[in-house]
Amino acid sequence: MAAAVAYSRVMDLITTTDALREVCTRLASQPFVTVDTEFMRETTYYPKLCLIQMAAPDGTAVLVDPLAPAIDLQPFIGLMADEQTVKVFHSARQDLEIIWLMGGILPHPFFDTQVAAMVCGYGDSVSYEQLVNDVAKAKIDKSSRFTDWSRRPLSEAQLTYALSDVTHLVKVYEVLVAELLRTDRGAWLDEEMAVLTSPETYRADPAQAWRRLSGRMRKPREIAVLMEVAAWRESEAQARNVPRGRILKDEAVIDVASAAPRNAEALGRLRTIPAGFERSRTGADILAAVERGQTRDTGNIQLPERIRRSGGNGAIVELLKVLLKAVCEAEGVAPKIIATVDDLEAVADDDEAEVPALQGWRRALFGEKALDLKQGRLALSVECGRIVVRQLEPAATGVPRPLGADS
């Protein structure tokens, strides 16, 4: 492991294209660069980029002001696309969304330390602060975390905090990579990284907006209305660049889809619709969306997978949760990266379910055991306050033996 690098505090923002080009050229010569962004989106649909932070193992650490009036961020976009330098983020989804919206590219090669930490046994969705504390043995002053990053000038405390988001990440990355090499688990990250670097992850298609709200829908006609109302809301939010809830709250979208009001009076009777809303232009748009949903062909509408399942396997799902926890504790990996509750429900319902838990390394680690548990070839017991997973011998002996025991 390389010796600790001293990073000087940077109090002057890069505000010109020439200065940005110079530093990006220098960073492109490094094996990896850590990256973070500060942004605001409380009042907008699209995030407003307010600050870019970058650091490298040679001691380079910079802050870039994307709000500077004359700056062109193309050198930064070029660095993000440079195939010779790994781009390291922590919990990268929103940062990557910003880069995608700004330049139409996604960083590659790419590494997310939060995903890697789950594979290395740091738990589900470990925070950056916790990783820095555990790995870099440092503390981060979080007092500036929720400040207004769009206001200028930024304070010294804000700049110091922002810089710490990437300088400590250098050490975190080096430690996690070493652990992945030691355990030979690097390939475990491939699927998660592929999702994060897929453009489809960041394309906010109005036609797909209904999926995040479909949990309570049970009938194809309800889904049809939901599709139209959610698509209308998404398009309006995008066009006006305001949060979805400013157009219509989630609860109201669901109520409209369930009740399917056909006129202003019926719309106004819904509790989640503000008084007088039904007589506005927006109310007319909602009713038009409902009408489109009512006339939509439901023949090719499929209920969400979790609703289509039989729902009678609750006890099996609970056993699979216990098995998942036991396996993850034994292997030092976060449950979230192996299987979600939806995955467990699918496995409980179908031995050949097309879910990650029954594919690749996840199947070898957990999926096969899950199927064995369902088929009575594996047992769970409690010993000294811990869950013990035991592979059962063939029926001829009927004697349980612990997993990993000598045959």
Domains observed in the chain: 17-201 (3.30.420.10), 206-295 (1.10.150.80), 309-402 (1.10.150.80)
- Bridging pattern class, strands 32-40 and 48-55: antiparallel
> Where does residue 394 fall: left (phi above 0), alpha (psi -120 to 50 degrees), or beta otherwise?
beta
Q: How confident is the model at residue 304 (pLDDT cuts 50, 70, 90)?
A: low
5 pLDDT band, cuts 50/70/90, is low
Residue closest to 38 by CA, chosen among 28, 29, 47: 47
pLDDT band of residue 180 (cuts 50, 70, 90) is: very high
pLDDT value, residue 29: 97
pLDDT digits 0-9 by tens, 369-392: 999 999 999 999 888 888 889 888
Q: What is the mean pLDDT of the chain?
A: 90
- The DSSP annotation for 19-53 comes to HHHHHHHHHTTSSEEEEEEEEE-SS-SS-EEEEEE
Q: How far apart are CA 354 and CA 303, in angstroms?
A: 16
Please give the Cα distance from 321 to 24 (Å, whole number): 46
Residue 6 is classified by DSSP as P
* Long-range contacts, stretch 96-103, CB < 8 angstroms, 24+ apart: 96/196, 96/197, 96/201, 96/202, 97/47, 97/202, 98/37, 98/39, 98/47, 98/49, 100/199, 100/202, 101/46, 101/47, 101/202, 102/49, 102/73, 102/77, 103/73, 103/74, 103/77
Instruction: Quote the pTM value.
Output: 0.86
Any residues with CB less than 8 A from the CB of 85 and at least 6 apart, and which? 27, 28, 30, 31, 32, 33, 79, 109
Grade residue 396 by pLDDT with cuts at 50, 70 and 90: very low
Query: What confidence score (pLDDT) does residue 26 get?
Result: 96
> Tens digit of pLDDT for each residue in 186-197?
989 988 899 999
Residues 199-226: tens digit of each pLDDT? 999 999 999 999 989 876 778 899 999 9
